[in-house]
Amino acid sequence: MSIAGKNIDSIRADFPILNLQVSGKPLVYLDNAASSQMPQQVIDRIVRYQKAEHSNIHRAVHYLSELATREFEEARVKVQHFLKAKESREIIFTRGTTEAINLVMHGYGRSFIGKGDEIILSGLEHHANIVPWQMLAEEKGAVIRVIPMNDQGELLIAEFEALFNEKTKFLALTHVSNALGTINPVKEMVAFAHSKGVPVLLDGAQAAPHQAIDVQDLDCDFYAFSGHKMCGPTGIGVLYGKAQLLEKMQPFMGGGDMILSVTFEKTSYNVIPAKFEAGTPPIMAAIALGTAIDYLNGIGLDNIAACEHELLAYATKRVSAIPGVRIIGTAAKKAAVLSFEIDGVHPHDVGTILNADGIAIRTGHHCAQPVMQRFHVPATARASFAFYNTEEEIDKLVEGIRKVQEMFS
Amino acid sequence: MSDMRQLYQEVILDHNRKPRNWGAIADANRHAEGHNPLCGDHIKLSMNVLNDKIDAIAFEGHGCAICKASSSMMTSAVKGKTVREAEMMVEEFRGMTTGTLNPETRENHLGRLKVFAGVKDLPSRVKCAILPWHTLHAALTSVVSVSTEGEADPIPGSEIGGQ
Ligand SMILES: Cc1ncc(COP(=O)(O)O)c(C=O)c1O
């Protein structure tokens, strides 16, 4: 196997953790939708920063502070290009997707959504894109409306369109479902929402690592993602927002860096993006995210998407051929997520038994309990693939599933 | 623990397939629900305590094999025991699965329940094994709904036998 002309072994060699032995077996890491692994290039960047570049940013005239500030702002430009945003000031660094969504809820929602207004979410959302909106709805007396899905896990577009009325004030929608892998037709959905004058936030946590994103083409108003799901570190994420929206929003947190001047009578806020980055940000993590983006660009997001698509097709074929196994989430357009159920075996037992063979999958409700309720299961087992996975690893997963069935027969 | 047969022993698989004391006691005078929202384990326990003895006990619900087998074997083990004896077993089972009681070296009343000793090496599964015992404790002390989610040692405090 190869990606972009590079042998898969040389790609795997970039990821030191893939050499690990777990329970005396080579690690088979199939939990990439929860968090992906980090290549040596990103690890080296972190070490270099901490050894020779670290200082606080935006605050001093000394060498290190200027260096760290430059690298931090360069990372912002890398994210801008990664998302094809118009301007780098439209990129706000956050702790992750969750904080990015909460920022929009506080900064936009609390000013522009009021009593009786309606917020549309989809039935596929991660709790991170449900709970903040419920908190807002409770505070304001707003109403949450939910886009339903079919048995394949695809959103019902006619029902979606029918949800809109003059009270609809916001649409918050996942680009790719973390529980089922469904890729939503977000460009068309954004266009429809805009035709009704409704702004849209896309949760890109599962999309950004796996396909090229163009926020201007999608025309979404906000886009959120997390660094740790795309070969970067934890503690860093991104909120993209259209400049004219960010400018009219209220700050999320107050503190240093987000102000122009402070007196006890009045504080005036800084311009974007600083207005939304109160306090010392995760400088090292932001710079490392920039390097992770370089790494992914080096392989090519289109190549990554194609490679993962092949892995998913292979895994779907192999796993669905096992009697007594049901795949949950069979949308026509899917990212490399395989949720499944084994007859008569609870997902947690599946996870524990696979772990004994070094195979890491996720079991549970994947922070998407409404999806579980829709499919009438308490939990699923989920294997999720990255470009550094191989067909041999999928063969091991299949062997592991058979072993589970044998044990429980 | 890498040999899964140590944990998923035939007794456990058998109790998972054919849980004993399955159902609900119609005229129960004690009952409690146990719930691990994260993994979806959910059991309902009902009992009749007469003259300080567990005269009848039953459970129903859904969960993983460890939780179901643990519930099934627990109901068999405590039936006919006094409240005090049952509470002592709660304590011992909790000690065994969290690693503070080695059932091979310290005297105990666990008997066949020792098949669960292996979960102590699987921190994420300890709560599955303990849930029915926590629920039993709640029923005996009349707390109606409990959860062991997120806690390796879900029973706060340790003066269980004294209540
Ligand atoms: C679709 C989706 N949204 C949001 C999140 C939350 O991301 P984070 O925990 O990095 O804030 C996740 C992570 O699991 C996700 O998959």
ipTM score of complex: 0.82
The pLDDT > 90 percentage for chain A reads 90
Q: Ligand 1: which of A94, A98, A101, A210 to mutate, judged by most atoms within 8 Å of the beta carbon?
A: A98
> If you average pLDDT over residues A59-67, what whole number do you get?
90
> If you average pLDDT over residues A372-399, what whole number do you get?
95
The answer to the question of residue B161 being in a domain is: no
> If you average pLDDT over residues A287-315, what whole number do you get?
97
Q: What is the CATH number of domain A2-30+301-407?
A: 3.90.1150.10
List pLDDT tens digits, range A10-37: 999 999 999 999 989 999 999 999 999 9
Predicted confidence at residue A405, as pLDDT, reads 97
From chain B, the residues in CB contact with A24 under 8 A are 2
Selecting from 1.10.150.120, 3.40.50.880, 3.40.640.10, 3.30.200.20, what CATH number does the domain A44-298 have?
Answer: 3.40.640.10
DSSP state of A19: G
pLDDT confidence band for A148 (50 / 70 / 90): very high
The answer to the question of residue B59 being in a domain is: yes
A265: three-class secondary structure by DSSP:
coil
The answer to the question of residue B159 being in a domain is: no
Predicted confidence at residue B156, as pLDDT, reads 41
How many Å apart are CA B116 and CA A168, to the nearest integer?
Answer: 54
- How far is the CA of A247 from the CAs of A188, A241, A282, in angstroms? 26, 9, 23
Answer yes or no: is pLDDT of A54 > 60.
Answer: yes
Predicted confidence at residue B145, as pLDDT, reads 65
Predicted confidence at residue B149, as pLDDT, reads 61
Answer yes or no: is pLDDT of A362 > 70.
Answer: yes
How many Å apart are CA A394 and CA B14, to the nearest integer?
Answer: 30
pTM of the model: 0.92
The answer to the question of residue B158 being in a domain is: no
Domain limits at B56? 3-151
Q: How does strand A168-174 pair with strand A118-122?
A: parallel
CB proximity A196 to B under 8 Å: no
Span from the CA of B21 to the centroid of ligand 1 (angstroms):
41
pLDDT confidence band for B121 (50 / 70 / 90): confident
Span from the CA of B135 to the centroid of ligand 1 (angstroms):
33
> If you average pLDDT over residues A43-71, what whole number do you get?
94
The answer to the question of residue B132 being in a domain is: yes
Amino acid occupying residue A77 = V
The number of folded domains in chain B is: 1
Q: Which residue has the least CA distance to atom 9 on ligand 1?
A: A98
Total Cβ atoms within 10 A of residue A115:
8
> If you average pLDDT over residues A119-130, what whole number do you get?
98
Predicted confidence at residue B154, as pLDDT, reads 44
CATH number at residue B72: 3.90.1010.10
pLDDT confidence band for A311 (50 / 70 / 90): very high
User: Cβ A378–B4 below 8 Å, yes or no?
Assistant: no
Q: Which of A353, A365, A408 sits opposite B40 (nearest CB)?
A: A365
The answer to the question of residue B28 being in a domain is: yes
User: Cβ B8–A407 below 8 Å, yes or no?
Assistant: yes
List pLDDT tens digits, range A66-111: 999 999 999 999 999 999 999 999 999 999 999 999 999 999 999 9
Answer yes or no: is pLDDT of B135 > 80.
Answer: yes
How many Å apart are CA A275 and CA A82, to the nearest integer?
Answer: 22
pLDDT confidence band for A378 (50 / 70 / 90): confident
The pLDDT > 90 percentage for chain B reads 66
Helix axes A301-320, A283-299, angle to 10 degrees: 80
Domain boundaries along the sequence of chain A: 2-30+301-407, 44-298
Residue whose C-alpha is closest to residue B62's, from B84, B85, B99, B33: B33
**DSSP secondary structure string for all residues of A304-355:** HHHHHHHHHHHHHHHHHTSTTEEEE---SSB-SEEEEEETTB-HHHHHHHHH
Predicted confidence at residue B144, as pLDDT, reads 65
User: Cβ A378–B38 below 8 Å, yes or no?
Assistant: no
- How far is the CA of A291 from the CAs of A7, A39, A89, A286, A335, in angstroms? 21, 10, 19, 9, 24
Residue where the block lists tokens 């929602």:
A109
Predicted confidence at residue B146, as pLDDT, reads 72
List pLDDT tens digits, range B81-90: 999 999 999 9
User: Cβ B125–A348 below 8 Å, yes or no?
Assistant: yes
Dihedral sign, CA of A391, A395, A400, A401?
Answer: positive
How many Å apart are CA B67 and CA B122, to the nearest integer?
Answer: 14
User: Helical H runs in A356-390?
Assistant: 369-374
Helix axes B65-78, A347-355, angle to 10 degrees: 110
The answer to whether A2-30+301-407 and A44-298 have equal CATH topology is no
How many Å apart are CA A335 and CA B20, to the nearest integer?
Answer: 43
Amino acid occupying residue A342 = I
How many Å apart are CA A299 and CA A211, to the nearest integer?
Answer: 12
pLDDT confidence band for A260 (50 / 70 / 90): confident
List pLDDT tens digits, range B11-57: 999 999 999 999 999 999 999 999 987 777 899 999 999 999 999 99
Answer yes or no: is pLDDT of A150 > 50.
Answer: yes
Predicted confidence at residue B4, as pLDDT, reads 82
Strand partners, A201: A172, A222
Q: Which of B2, B63, B64 sits opposite A356 (nearest CB)?
A: B2
Total Cβ atoms within 10 A of residue A15:
20
> If you average pLDDT over residues A385-392, what whole number do you get?
98
Answer yes or no: is pLDDT of B133 > 90.
Answer: yes
The answer to the question of residue B120 being in a domain is: yes
List pLDDT tens digits, range A211-243: 999 999 999 999 999 999 999 999 999 999 999
From chain A, the residues in CB contact with B6 under 8 A are none
The pLDDT > 70 percentage for chain A reads 100
Total Cβ atoms within 10 A of residue B28:
16
Catalytic (active site) residue A220: no
Comparing A138 with A264, which gets the higher pLDDT?
A138
Q: Which of A24, A348, A407 sits opposite B128 (nearest CB)?
A: A348
Comparing B72 with B3, which gets the higher pLDDT?
B72
